[in-house]
Structure 1
Amino acid sequence: ISPQKTLFNGNENGVDYQIVSGEHLSAKANPKSTTGRLDVFTRVITDYSHRFEEIRSGYKGKMYLEVVPKSFPIKVKTGHRLNQLRIRHGYTVLSDQDILRTHSSDPMLFTEGGNPVDVDELKVNNGLFLSVNLHASEGKIVGYKAKKHRDYIDLDNINYYEVSEFWEPIYHQPDDHLILEPEAFYIFASKERCRIPEYLAAEMIAYDTGSGELRTHYAGFFDSGFGGRVEDKGARAVLEVRSHDVPFLIEDGQTFCSMKFEPNTEVPKFVYGDDIESNYQGQELRLGKHFKQ
């Protein structure tokens, strides 16, 4: 797929999907982590829906996937998983007070040194805020900027492509500042380390445009178990960032994204982690699994 909009019919053998047949079930879709890190924009479309990525209760019909590679052409085939679906029974998110109470007893956010962030230092406002990390020792990489590349990425090829062919490394600057170029795509890591308890699931929501002309994070879902147990001290969230229209100055520790938490109806039998060979457990700054790292 070249950098243009492509629409796929997700129905196999022409059979209509009935994803959410229960009275109180609905569904929300989002790009998979690897999809977002490749700067591939995807969204699910259903007939007569007034919103992308959302599947209403009782829907039965066709389901389509819009795919737009932004930085690199990609080669896909039937069976490749670009998107993911989260099925909901009702829709309840933790309030800011619930987030603070949960963190007090079961820490979800850690400092770079691995200590739980003090409750008084958590930034909450309709979700838990994370900041961007631009600080490192001299000569260390703090991010990546996508190169415009004519060669395609075959999604079957794991740990295959040289990073230098597709990405420009961004090194630590003495003043911990960086100017993002308009419409360029960047990969950064959060300054904090986060973990999602097994009884919760999380979603990183689109950045509030009132806080800056940029979008962070295509891939919104964080699974139960991400970041491990408390003693594992969490993992950094990888941020997919694009500045729009004008250059945008960012600095180390700048608030960058917000995470909402939903309670699971029950603790999942399988959670994110090494036991199911999850790709990004315990991650630092990391590109998608198709690149040699």
Structure 2
Amino acid sequence: MSAFITATPGILPCQSIESLIATGAIRSQTPFDADQVQPASLDLRLSDTCWRVRASFLPGSRKVEDRIADVVMHTLDLSGGEVLEKGCVYIARLQESLTLPKGLIARANPKSSTGRVDVFVRLLTDQGASFDDVAEGYEGPLYLEIAPQTFSILVRPGTRLNQLRLKAGEPPRLETRSVGVDLQGGDIVGFRGRRHAGVIDLDRIDGHDPRDFWEPLNVRRGELLLDPGEFYILASSDAVEIPVDQAAEMTPIDPSVGEFRVHYAGFFDPGFGTDEAHGAGSKGVLEVRTHDTPFLLEHGQIVARLVYEPLTERPSRLYGEGGSHYQRQGLKLSKHFRSW
């Protein structure tokens, strides 16, 4: 395959991703869905093959499926739909595979809807030295580690849990912005996951009663005590806006200023929250989990950072064009739930 050539380092927009699909650098077991390519990322889909494993792992010098043989408990066929139980770890083969041209690397992250139901996912590649990163020149299949934390989930072939962002060269970090938490936004400032809720069907949109899965949070004095082991949905104190020629990733803060994790789903596409995409004022939704000790969170406290990077060129479509579940959002649960 010929080298991928671009004069500008940066994140690839949708039209470049579609070109890679057309040339076979990105392939799939089944035809690609019409809405699978996002403004600056590609949604990845589960195949019908999944393994329940007793431990997470990195393959090191081996292939993923060779390593699975050491930790497998049983094999699941997802073709008829299967429940992945909370507290368990699974590895699923994805439908997509790659032959990355020279000059391109890739990075994966959970989709927003995945993080908002507390499902921890990480991409694996053959001989991969780290999670979620795909090395230049990688040729082979893709796999996904899936670890539901609060809710058990129903999945099937085609379910989309993560997304892939492709990057050419070494684009500069344009800026980094701090993200604070809103604990004075109204009568309900957040939600806490119910520990003994039912199963969430991840392909059923607007099909679940949120009261069966979430407890609304009302706080006093702009403070919220985070309990270890609990999962929270909160909102950013300021609106997030991603320029049309940039993309962003939300990254954790230094643990020295707070022992908690924020935001499993870290990608923000160009046009999120912008006037041009008809959605000014979109908040960032924060998925929050503390570690081993209770932690008192205060209104406006910095909980994460947004890192902005350039695109190689303006995308041919922006986030929110044609409709989106999360454009113009404030505090909002995932798309699987009806309005509160």
Q: Which interval holds the TM-score relative to the shorter structure? A: 0.7 to 0.9
Alignment of 1:237-276 (within 5 A): 237-273=284-320, 275-276=321-322
Kept in 1: contact 2:279–2:327 (CA 8 A): no
Aligned sequence identity (%):
43
Q: For residues 216-253 of structure 1, give each alpha carbon's deviation from its aligned partner in whole angstroms, at most 9, with x where no partner exists.
A: 00000000000022785431000000000000001001
Alignment of 1:103-252 (within 5 A): 127-137=176-186, 140-173=187-220, 175-229=221-275, 233-252=280-299
Aligned residue for 2:98?
18
Is the partner of 2:182 in helix, strand or coil?
coil
Aligned residue for 2:85?
2
The alpha-carbon deviation at position 172 of structure 1 amounts to: 3.2
Q: For residues 99-142 of structure 1, give each alpha carbon's deviation from its aligned partner in whole angstroms, at most 9, with x where no partner exists.
A: 3xxxxxxxxxxxxxxxxxxxxxxxxxxx21010000134xx000
The alpha-carbon deviation at position 156 of structure 1 amounts to: 2.1
Q: Give, as a single letter, the amino acid of the residue that structure 2 aligns with 1:288.
A: S
The alpha-carbon deviation at position 270 of structure 1 amounts to: 1.0
Q: Give, as a single letter, the amino acid of the residue that structure 2 aligns with 1:67.
A: I
Q: For residues 45-67 of structure 1, give each alpha carbon's deviation from its aligned partner in whole angstroms, at most 9, with x where no partner exists.
A: 01111110000011012211001
Normalised TM-score (structure 2): 0.72
Q: How far, CA to CA, are the matches of 1:290 and 1:232 in structure 2?
A: 21
Normalised TM-score (structure 1): 0.83
Kept in 2: contact 1:177–1:251 (CA 8 A): yes
Structure 1: stretches of 5+ with no match in the other structure = 100-126
Is the partner of 1:265 in helix, strand or coil?
coil
Aligned residue for 1:57?
136
The alpha-carbon deviation at position 208 of structure 1 amounts to: 2.1
The alpha-carbon deviation at position 11 of structure 1 amounts to: 4.5
Aligned CA distance change for structure 1 residues 207 and 183 (closer, same or farther; 3 Å): farther
Question: Which has the larger share of strand?
Answer: 2
**RMSD across aligned positions (CA):** 1.5
1:283 aligns with 2:329: yes
Give the counterpart of 1:73 among 145, 152, 166: 152
Structure 2: stretches of 5+ with no match in the other structure = 1-83
Aligned CA distance change for structure 1 residues 279 and 210 (closer, same or farther; 3 Å): same
Kept in 1: contact 2:272–2:279 (CA 8 A): no
Q: How far, CA to CA, are the matches of 2:279 and 2:154 in structure 1?
A: 36
